[in-house]
Amino acid sequence: MQNRRDFLKTLPLVPGTLMLAVLPQKESYGASLLQKEAGIQLWTLRNEMQNNVDETLKAVSALGYKSIETYGFDGGFYGREAVEFSRFCNALGLTIHSSHSGISDSTAAAWSGKAAEAGLSFLILPSMMGRPEKSLDDFRRTADEMNRIGEACLKNGIRFGYHNHDFEFREMEGKLPYEILLQNTDPKLVSFQMDIYWVIKGGQDPYKYFDKYPGRFTTWHMKDLATDGKSCIVGNGRIDFRNLLEKAGQAGLERVFVEQEQYDEGAPLHCAGKSLNYIKKHLF
C-alpha cells in the first residue's frame, strides 16, 4: 500500500512567485480556541475515496463525523468543482474545514480563492511536495515561499499551514529542519499542523514545541502510535492525547483531525468509527 509521503512526491510542484500585502491575524495564546469536534482526514479512507467518493462520504457522515479535511486540493476536490463538492458535503452534514494541497507560489492566489468560495478555513501544505530538502538552505527557501503563500491565502481569508512527517526531525548540519521552518516563517502568515504521531515517532516532544512556539499549532492530526510503530485507532496506542489536549490553549489549537494509515482492527471505516467513539467518550 502506498504511504502518503510517497503519494505526495508524485504530485506536481508548480514554481512561481507571488507577493501580496500582509494581513494581520489575531494571536491568542492564553485561552483555548479548540472546537471540541473531531474531524477526519480523508487520507484515512484513501482507497474508499478512490473507489467511490460519494458513498464514502455518506459512510463518514453515518459514523457521526461532521468535519472533514480533504487531500489533493488543486482548486477543486477529487476532480469536481470546489463549490459544488462543498455543497454535496454540506447536504450530508459534513463541513470541509481544511484541505491538504500541493499549493505553491504560482497557485496560491487562485487556489485559496476557490477554497474560500467553498467555505474552507485552512489550506495545508502536507510535505515538501518535491521541493529540495538536502540542506538547511533548502528549508529556508521553502520557509520564504511559505510566507509568500501565506500572504496570498490571507488575502482570500484562508489560513495557510504546514504538516510535518518525521523527516523534518532528522538532524542536518547540527539543526532540525522543523526548527528552521518554524524560525523562518511569520506566525501571522504560516501556522503548523502538528501530526502528533510523526513528532513522537521522530523522537521529539510535542510539549517542547508548544513551550517554544506558542500559538503556532492551530490544527493537529490525532493519529495514535502502536507498539509496532504503526498508526492505530485512537486510544489503542501509547500517545496520551488527554494530557496533550491540556496544552491546547498554549499550542493555539483550534481543530483536530483523526488520521490513520495502517489499520489494527479491520476495515478503515471501522477504525475511523472506533477512533471517533473513543474521542467522544474520553477526550471531548
pLDDT tens across 176-228, in order?
999 999 999 999 999 999 999 999 999 999 999 999 999 999 999 999 999 99
User: 252 near 216, Cβ under 8 Å?
Assistant: yes
pLDDT of residue 236: 98
- The answer to the question of residue 104 being in a domain is yes
Q: How far apart are CA 153 and CA 113, in angstroms?
A: 8
CB 24 within 8 A of CB 245: no
Whether residue 23 lies inside any domain: the answer is: no
Q: Is residue 17 part of a domain?
A: no
Partners of 162 in the β-ladder? 125, 192
Percent residues over pLDDT 90 in the chain: 89
- 152 close to 106: Cβ distance less than 8 angstroms: no
Average pLDDT rounded to a whole number, residues 162-182: 98
> Rounded to whole angstroms, how far apart are CA atoms 198 and 201?
5
Q: What is the average pLDDT across 36-42?
A: 97
Residue 20 domain flag: no
CATH number at residue 170: 3.20.20.150
Average pLDDT over residues 248-252: 97
Distance in angstroms (rounded) separating the CA atoms of residues 169 and 176:
5
Residue 16 belongs to some domain of the structure? no
Is residue 149 scored above 50 in pLDDT? yes
The least confident of 1-5, 76-80, 168-172, 188-192 is 1-5
Domain enclosing residue 120, as ranges: 4-10+31-283
| Whether the predicted pLDDT of 1 surpasses 50 | no
Instruction: Kindly list the distances between the CA atom of residue 82 and the CA atoms of 87, 121, 145, in Å, as whole numbers in the listed order.
Output: 9, 14, 25
Spatial distance between the Cα atoms of 18 and 151, rounded to a whole number of angstroms:
9
Which pLDDT does position 28 carry in this prediction?
52
Task: Provide the Cα torsion 272, 225, 10, 172; round to 10°.
Answer: 160
Whether 21 is in a domain gets the answer no
Residue 170 lies in a domain: yes
What is the largest distance, in Å, between two alpha-carbon atoms of the chain? 51
Q: In this structure, is residue 18 part of a structural domain?
A: no
- CA 154/CA 161 separation, integer angstroms: 11
Helix residue ranges per DSSP H, the chain: 4-9, 46-51, 53-63, 82-91, 108-117, 136-155, 177-183, 196-201, 206-212, 241-245, 248-251, 268-278
Radius of gyration of the chain (CA): 18
Number of structural domains in the chain: 1
Position with higher pLDDT, 9 vs 208: 208
Q: What is the pTM of this model?
A: 0.90
Residue 100 to residue 34: CA distance in whole angstroms? 20
